[in-house]
Every structure is written in C-alpha cells, then in structure tokens.
Amino acid sequence: MHKMPDAQPAFQFVDMRQQHDVARLGMWVFLATEVLFFGGLILSYSAYRTGYPTGFAEAARHTKIVIGTANTAILLTSSFLVAWAVTVARLRDSRFAALLLWTAALLGVVFLVLKGVEYSAEFNEHLLPGFGFAFSGPHIHAAHLFFSFYLVATGLHAVHVAVGIVVLVVIGLRAHQRAYSDLYHSPITVAGLYWHFVDLVWIFLFALIYLPGRGG
Amino acid sequence: MKNAPNYLTEDNSLRSWLFTTDHKRVAILYFVGITLFFFVGGAAATLIRLELIEPQGHLVTSDTYNRLFTMHGIIMVWFFLIPSIPSTLGNFVVPLMIGARDLAFPRLNLTSWYLFMVGGATTLYAIFRGGIDTGWTFYTPFSTMYSNSHVVLAITGVFIAGFSSILTGLNFIVTIHRLRAPGLTWYRLPLFLWSLYATSVILVLATPVLAMTLLLVGLDRVFGIGIFDPARGGDPLLFQHLFWFYSHPAVYIMILPGMGVVSELVACYSRKEVFGYKFVAWSAVAIAGIGFFVWGHHMFVSGQSPFAALVFSFMSFVVAVPSAIKVFNWTATMHKGRIRYDAPMLYALAFIGLFTIGGLTGLFLACLAYDVYVTDTYFVVAHFHYIMVGGMVTAYFGGLHYWWPKITGRLYPEYWARAAAILIFFGFNMTFFPQFILGVLGMPRRYHIYPPEFQIWHVMSSTGASILAVAYALPLFYLGWSLFFGQRASANPWHTTGLEWQTPSPPPKHNFETTPVVKRKPYDFTIKGKPRAQNA
Amino acid sequence: MTRTRRPPRVLLLSWLALLALLATTVTIAYIPLGVANTVIAIIIAAVKGAIVAAIFMELRERNPLTVTFAGAGFFWLGIMLWLALADYVTRPNFPPVMKWGL
C-alpha cells in the first residue's frame, strides 16, 4: 500500500497545476498524431469508395452489424465509466475510481472477444484479404479493398484497445492503492483521454464500415 | 568558478549517460548517433560518386547501385537530416533559451533517443543483410510486390525512428508553450525557437502519416493484402499521395531549423537585431502551414489529374514567398551591421546563397511544363542537394560552431574553422553545380550507366565530392582537438544576447541558478558594442 | 462504504444521448436515401464524437490552446482528404478497369 504522495512537482515545473496542465497538453498533442495516423487509412477508404461506390456498398452489407453495434455500445459505456472515474478521482474517492476503471477495462476485453468472434466468422467466409480472400460477383475489386481497409483499421484499433486495457488496469491498480489524490491524479486524466480517443475512432469506423449499403 | 560542477562533470559513469534525462546529455547522445549515420550515408555517397566517374559503370552492378542510392537516401534523410538540428542543437539550446531547467518531458526525450538508435540499428541491419533497392521513396507496386530486397526490415527501422521524431516534436511544442521564463512573451522569443516550433508542428502532424504508409507497405509484403495493386483494384498513386503528404513537409522539417540557426547567426555576427522580426517569425509558421499543400508536385508525371497538378503547382509557388521573405530580411539585417566573418557567419552566408539557388531551382520544378522536362533527372538531385547540403548541413555546422563553447566549455580554433568552411563551400559547389547541367542535358537520376558525353560533368562532380569529403572530415579533427586543448570559454564568448549566454559554459545540470526574468526583446544591440541580455 | 455513488448528471445524460444516437444511426441506415445515407451517418458520427470530446474529454472546460490542439489533428486530416480527393474526383480514368488477378 503506497502512502499518499507528497504532491511535489517534478523539478522542471513550478507547481502541480503546471505539471497537470502540461501532462494534459502533451496527451492532446499525442492524440493529434493518432488522428493523422488513422487518417491515412481514412484517405485510402475515401479514395477507393469514390471509385467504387456500388462495390463498397455491396461489400459493407457483408459486415456483421449486430456485433458492430453491440461493440459500439460497449465502448460508449466504457467511456462513460472512465469519464466518471476522472470526476471521482478529483473527489479523493480513489478506490471507487479504481472499480470504475477496471469495469471499463473489462468492457474493453468484451469488445476484443466479440471482435475475435467476428474475425473468425469472416475468416470462414473468406472475407479477410491475405487470408484466403474470395468474393463472388462483379465487385470483387471493391470488396477486396473494402475488407483490406476493414482488417487494417479494426485490427489497428483493436491493438489500441488492448494497450488501453493494460493502461486502465495499471492505473486502476494504482488508484486502488491510493497513489492518487485530489492534488495529483493526472495519470487518470491522461489515461482517460487516451481511452476516449480510442472510443472516438471507433465511432467513425463504425459509420464507415457497418452502415453503408444497408438501404439495399 | 572553474571547478563548479557542470552537466558534463556532474557524474561521468556510463550508467549516468545511458539513463540520463538531462536534455543537454541527450543532445550529446543524439550528436554521437547522427554523426555515425552521417558517415554511413557519406560512405554510400562516396561509392556512388566513384561509380559515376566512368560511363559504363565498372565498379558495381546495377543492382548494387540501386541499393547504394537507396541506402544513401534512407540514412541521410531519416537518420541524419531530420533529427540533426532539432535533436542535437534544439535539445541542448531550447530549455536554455527559454530559461527553463529542462524540457517538459525529460524521460520522453531519452526514450526518443533510444527509439532513434533502435530504428537506426534495424536499418543498418537491413543494409548489412544486403540492403534495399527501391529508392528511399519505396514506390509501389515495386516495393510491395516485386522487390527482392529487405524492404520490411528497412521500413521497420524507419517506422521506429518516426516515433522518435514525433516525441521530439511533442516535447518542443509543449515546452515552448508552457515552460517559458517569466516575461518571455512569444515576440521576445529568439527566432530559433519560432523555427523549431514550426518544425515541431510538422513533426507531429506529418510523421504519423508516414507511419501508416510504411505500415501498409509492410502489411502488403507480409500478408499480400494488396491495397496498392492495380490487379486487385488498388491505385499505386495512393501510396504516393500518402508518402508525399509526409515527405514534402519533411523537407521543411529539415530546413526550418537551419533557417532558425541562420537568424541567430546573422544577428550575432552583424551585431544587429533581425530586420522584420515578426515577418521572419511568422514566415516560419507560414512555411510549415503552406508546406502541407504542395506534396503533389512530386507526382506531376505520375498520373494524377491535371486539376490536382494545377493546384499543387500554384501552391508550390506560394510556399516560396515566406522563404524569400527570410532571405530578404537576413540581407537587410546585415546591411549597415558590424559584420564579423567568424566561421559561423561564413556558414550563414553560405546558407543564404546556396539556399537561394536551391530554392529558385525549386520554382523551376514547380512549373508544370518545365518539370515534365527535368523530372527524375539530375536537375532534381542538384536542387535538393543545394537545399539539404548547401542549406541544411551548412546551417548545422554553423550552429554547431556557434554553440560549441556553450556545449563543451571550449573555443574551437577559429582559423581552422574558417578554412574548413571555405573548403566546404568550394567542394560543395564543385560537386553539385555540374549536376544542374547534367539534368538539363538529360541525365536521369538513379542511373549509373550513361552516355559518354556526360562524363566530363560527372568527373567534375566526383572531384568536388572528394574535396567535400576532406572538408567535412576537418571539423571532426579540430573540434575533437578543442575538446582537450581548446581555450576555455566564458559564459558569453561572442558577447551576444540570448538567455543561453547568461549561464556558464558548460551550464550546470539544472541550467540556471535562479530562473531568469525576461525584460527585453531579443537581439538588443542598441548600445553600440554592448549587447543587452534579455534578463538584464 | 455503503454510500451510494451517483454519476454526474451531465455524464449520464451524455451516455444516454450517445446510445440514442447509435440507435438512430443504425435505424436510418436501413432507410434507402441514396447519397444522404452517407452524409447523415457521418454527421451523426460527428455529433457523437463531439459529445465524447466536449463532455467526456472535458474539452468544453479547457482553454483555447487545448481546444486548438484537439482540433488541429482533424483540421490537418481535412487538408489531406481535401487535396488528395481532389485528385481522385477529377481523375479521368479512376479506377482503371482490370481483370482480377493475384
């Protein structure tokens, strides 16, 4: 059990407020880099969808919207719990914050399990490029590109979710050990920002992957 | 006090160096790294220039030649030019210039060095295993489907080094925003910091796109996904859009810090404040911003739509304007200044001239019709070497000499330094000016077998390169000598302004005994012969 | 340890709004509206994103600098999409018609 830290800022900072502010700013800069990172995929998707509008719609109909929607709801809920944990941390209720963070992490695990189920089904349907891809009909080029985007984007996103789960578990553990206080809780804030961002990316991926072509 | 501990003498164990979070020590770690890579890239260049002496190419096979110029490009771009000024001079000087005790995230700083070295080691390993033959630009579908070289290894090295870049940029942005000393408003910042800030914005926003691009190429090679394969509906040009969206701003990552250094040098060695400070400051921001709108000028003949080509051409003309503003303002700064022709000033003058030539030839290339004629010829090679070597490397040497006393506590030998600067200038022009002529005559780039009528220009270029090689080796010797035998430096040997000169040479571990309070604008030489420090 | 802990009202309402928007966007996707389907899906995603950013990520309480940093990534992504798609939208023969082959 760690004792309450002294709340002394690191030597390059004037006070704790500056340290917290700098930590938050740093995380936002990092998130901006993540936007551009996923952005390359968004460009690829947009370019090919411009070229193959019908094909993309046809391919998107083969995605599993039930799992996709459930996963979206799961991530939105986990984000809600993390946001709650951040407010709780400010009120010195460290242990409850830990509980919230761990629950959010658990939801993240459920997300990944469902994703695995989804990939497994798609693998059996030969929808994953590089893993025996086959698609009947004239839209094979478009379907191939669509599912390439799908695989890379959701795969990368899943990696980010996995990292986020580890971060939430570790931060939750430290919160449980009362390592944080109302004066010092920037790790929770910063971890929260990362997790919300992962949720944000999924919101957009969901719209681009699962919804096209449903109108028949 | 000569015997007070400074950041160098504080603790000299290997462990203290490898686990340091002191920005000054990280800067030196980077310096060692990039110098190493400079010589590796230089070795490739030497072999290339040796090969090109003869038209029939007897020294190496075509396949080896492909691997040589690829290696030269990859190492020089990602492991020398991009990190050079920001990670060495920037890391050392930024906290000192803003009156801070370190950067915002010292541990991230050390992490970025480790990432850089791991990335470099991975790339060197790829070269050791036989290299890669795609050119530093990794164009698809050759790189994804047909090349038999170590593409995945090489791009892994670059991918890792990219994170190093991003962390450096992130650190600088947050530091410059939040860790400035009291009284140091934005318009009191030395121009080196405006340039590094603009550079950091590009580092942070462009590099992730490179990461994605390389990842896609890697996935394509390993899993055969094929998103750039025309037979599976893909577009090779998509790779080029993604690649150049990063790689064009990357050239501004490379040159902006050099421009920042030149602003400092011109002010100090003309003993005058920089003319049009605000214009020079905002021109750095403008270059960084507009630089994101021009990438298609690398793709004029690749097959993009004429409409897109038109937009990119126009924007490429626009981006020249802020660069020109800087050149005019530096010149105006020197006008009626009390100029000292010390080595750093010689480098600054060389930069202004050579960068102008490189920049103007860039306008030739921005012109659609002319580009069709000279694209993929030695004209392009000469253009970017004038900017990168004539500009950037020159500025790096200028800054290195300028801040050498601050970093090491020793003065470099002035006459040797001037001689080296002049030899570099001479060797550089002899190497690269003939290449403009070669390009216009039709010599393609990346070829090692050429018609005999081009030989005279190649021989001239290779002769220049051998002079340049000697010239670049000279500083290694006299700077190394100065570490042990050089005259010890005072806190402000150049009698100039700037907070970094208000602390001993070398600085103590936490930079300042007390946090300085800034009261003046930068480059305040209003009292003749007497610089007024920013915190005086 | 038995005191009830309630989530802040704003967070709870935001969460419910996000779920409602999710249900809406999925429902609308099944109504054939042509190009409007894509536009509406993106708009709803943007609204959900804005709620996450402003409320969960607390951007509405932050200073202009932080908001600028948050927006910068999206703005730059916009530059990349706008200029690159300018090529794709105006290219005469994109995509080329090719026989499928590996």
CA distance B353 to chain A (A): 36
Q: Give B-chain residues touching C83 at CB under 8 angstroms.
A: 293, 295-296, 308, 311-312
SS3 state at C12: helix
C2 in any annotated domain: no
Q: Is C53's pLDDT higher than 70? A: yes
C50 with C90, same domain: the answer is no
pLDDT given at position B226: 82
A40 in any annotated domain: yes
Q: How far apart are CA B100 and CA B499, in angstroms?
A: 10
B527 beta partners: B530
pLDDT given at position B1: 44
Contact: B232, C101; criterion CB under 8 Å: yes
Q: Is B436's pLDDT higher than 80? A: yes
Query: What is the mean pLDDT of the segment spanning B497-509?
Result: 92
By Cβ distance, the residue of B226, B231, B235 closest to C94 is B235
Q: Is C58's pLDDT higher than 90? A: yes
Which residue from B minimizes the CA distance to C90?
B305
Q: Return the residue in A52, A148, A151, A186 with the most chain B beta carbons within 10 A, the one to mutate for interface testing.
A: A148
Q: Return the residue in A31, A77, A80, A190 with the most chain C beta carbons within 10 A, the one to mutate for interface testing.
A: A80
C18 with C56, same domain: the answer is yes
pLDDT given at position B395: 97
Could you tell me if A77 lies within 8 Å of chain C, comparing CB atoms? yes
Task: For C20-30, write each residue's pLDDT tens digit.
Answer: 999 999 999 99
Q: Is B411's pLDDT higher than 80? A: yes
A1 in any annotated domain: no
- Print the SS3 string covering B233-265: CCCHHHHHHHHHHHHHHHHHHHHHHHHHHHHHH
Q: Give B-chain residues touching A142 at CB under 8 angstroms.
A: 233
C12 with C51, same domain: the answer is yes
Q: Give C-chain residues touching A192 at CB under 8 angstroms.
A: 56-57
**CATH value at residue A95:** 1.20.120.80
Query: What is the mean pLDDT of the segment spanning C52-79?
Result: 93
The predicted complex's ipTM stands at 0.93
pLDDT given at position A65: 96
Q: How confident is the model at residue B527 (pLDDT cuts 50, 70, 90)?
A: low
Q: Is B3's pLDDT higher than 70? A: no
Q: Which chains touch C (3 or more CB pairs under 8 A)?
A: A, B
pLDDT given at position C96: 76
Could you tell me if B231 lies within 8 Å of chain C, comparing CB atoms? yes
pLDDT given at position C102: 58
Task: For A43-69, write each residue's pLDDT tens digit.
Answer: 999 999 999 999 999 999 999 999 999
C21 with C40, same domain: the answer is yes
- Print the SS3 string covering chain A: CCCCCCCCCCCCCCCHHHHHHHHHHHHHHHHHHHHHHHHHHHHHHHHHHHHCHHHHHHHHCCCCHHHHHHHHHHHHHHHHHHHHHHHHHHCCCHHHHHHHHHHHHHHHHHHHHHHHHHHHHHHHCCCCCCCCCCCCCCCHHHHHHHHHHHHHHHHHHHHHHHHHHHHHHHHHHHHHCCCCCCCCCHHHHHHHHHHHHHHHHHHHHHHHHCCCCCCC
Q: Give C-chain residues touching A47 at CB under 8 angstroms.
A: 84-85, 88
The tokens describing B256, both together, are 């902006």
The tokens describing C55, both together, are 């409320």
Q: Return the residue in B144, B174, B235, B310 with the most chain C beta carbons within 10 A, the one to mutate for interface testing.
A: B235
Task: For B143-197, write each residue's pLDDT tens digit.
Answer: 999 999 999 999 999 999 999 999 999 999 999 999 999 999 999 999 999 999 9
A75 in any annotated domain: yes
Could you tell me if B304 lies within 8 Å of chain C, comparing CB atoms? yes
Q: Which amino acid is at B507?
A: P
Q: How far apart are CA B467 and CA B433, in angstroms?
A: 14
Mean pLDDT of chain C: 90
Contact: B245, C72; criterion CB under 8 Å: no
Give me the domain span that covers residue C90: 64-102
C19 with C53, same domain: the answer is yes
Contact: A47, B170; criterion CB under 8 Å: no
C28 with C69, same domain: the answer is no
Cis, bond preceding B506 (omega within 30 deg of 0)? yes
Q: How far apart are CA A211 and CA A200, in angstroms?
A: 16
Contact: B209, A37; criterion CB under 8 Å: yes
Q: Considering only B3-7, B201-205, B441-445, B486-490, which range has the smallest mean pLDDT?
A: B3-7
A11 in any annotated domain: no
pLDDT given at position A170: 96
Please choose, from the candidates B211, B102, B131, the residue with its C-alpha nearest in 3D space to the C-alpha of residue B166.
Answer: B211
pLDDT given at position A11: 86
Q: Give B-chain residues touching C68 at CB under 8 angstroms.
A: none
Contact: A51, C77; criterion CB under 8 Å: no
pLDDT given at position B97: 95
Q: Is A5's pLDDT higher than 60? A: no
pLDDT given at position C97: 74
C3 in any annotated domain: no
Higher-pLDDT residue of B526 and B428 is: B428
Give me the domain span that covers residue A130: 16-209
C51 with C71, same domain: the answer is no
Contact: A196, C57; criterion CB under 8 Å: yes
C48 with C70, same domain: the answer is no
Contact: C69, A212; criterion CB under 8 Å: no
CA distance A137 to chain B (A): 14
Q: Which chains touch B (3 or more CB pairs under 8 A)?
A: A, C
pLDDT given at position C3: 59
Q: How far apart are CA B44 and CA B40, in angstroms?
A: 7
Mean pLDDT of chain A: 92
Q: Considering only A78-82, A103-107, A132-136, B273-277, which range has the smallest mean pLDDT?
A: A132-136
CA distance C6 to chain A (A): 9
Could you tell me if B223 lies within 8 Å of chain C, comparing CB atoms? no
Structural domains for chain B: 20-502 (1.20.210.10)
A178 in any annotated domain: yes
Could you tell me if B437 lies within 8 Å of chain C, comparing CB atoms? no
pLDDT given at position B2: 53
Task: For B395-407, write each residue's pLDDT tens digit.
Answer: 999 999 999 999 9
Contact: B208, A34; criterion CB under 8 Å: yes
Q: Is A2's pLDDT higher than 80? A: no
C35 in any annotated domain: yes
pLDDT given at position B529: 58
Task: For A102-154, write each residue's pLDDT tens digit.
Answer: 999 999 999 999 999 999 999 999 999 988 899 988 899 999 999 999 999 99
Contact: C83, B177; criterion CB under 8 Å: no
Which residue from A minimizes the CA distance to C23?
A69
Task: For B22-61, write each residue's pLDDT tens digit.
Answer: 999 999 999 999 999 999 999 999 999 999 999 998 899 9
pLDDT given at position C34: 87
Q: Is B501's pLDDT higher than 90? A: yes
Could you tell me if C86 lies within 8 Å of chain A, comparing CB atoms? no
Could you tell me if B245 lies within 8 Å of chain C, comparing CB atoms? yes
Q: How confident is the model at residue B233 (pLDDT cuts 50, 70, 90)?
A: confident
Number of structural domains in chain C: 2
CA distance B72 to chain C (A): 29
A125 in any annotated domain: yes
Which residue from B minimizes the CA distance to C89?
B305
Backbone φ and ψ for A65, nearest 5 degrees, come out as -70, -30
C1 in any annotated domain: no
Number of structural domains in chain A: 1
Query: What is the mean pLDDT of the segment spanning A151-180?
Result: 94
Predicted TM-score of the model (pTM): 0.95
By Cβ distance, the residue of B105, B178, B216 closest to A21 is B178
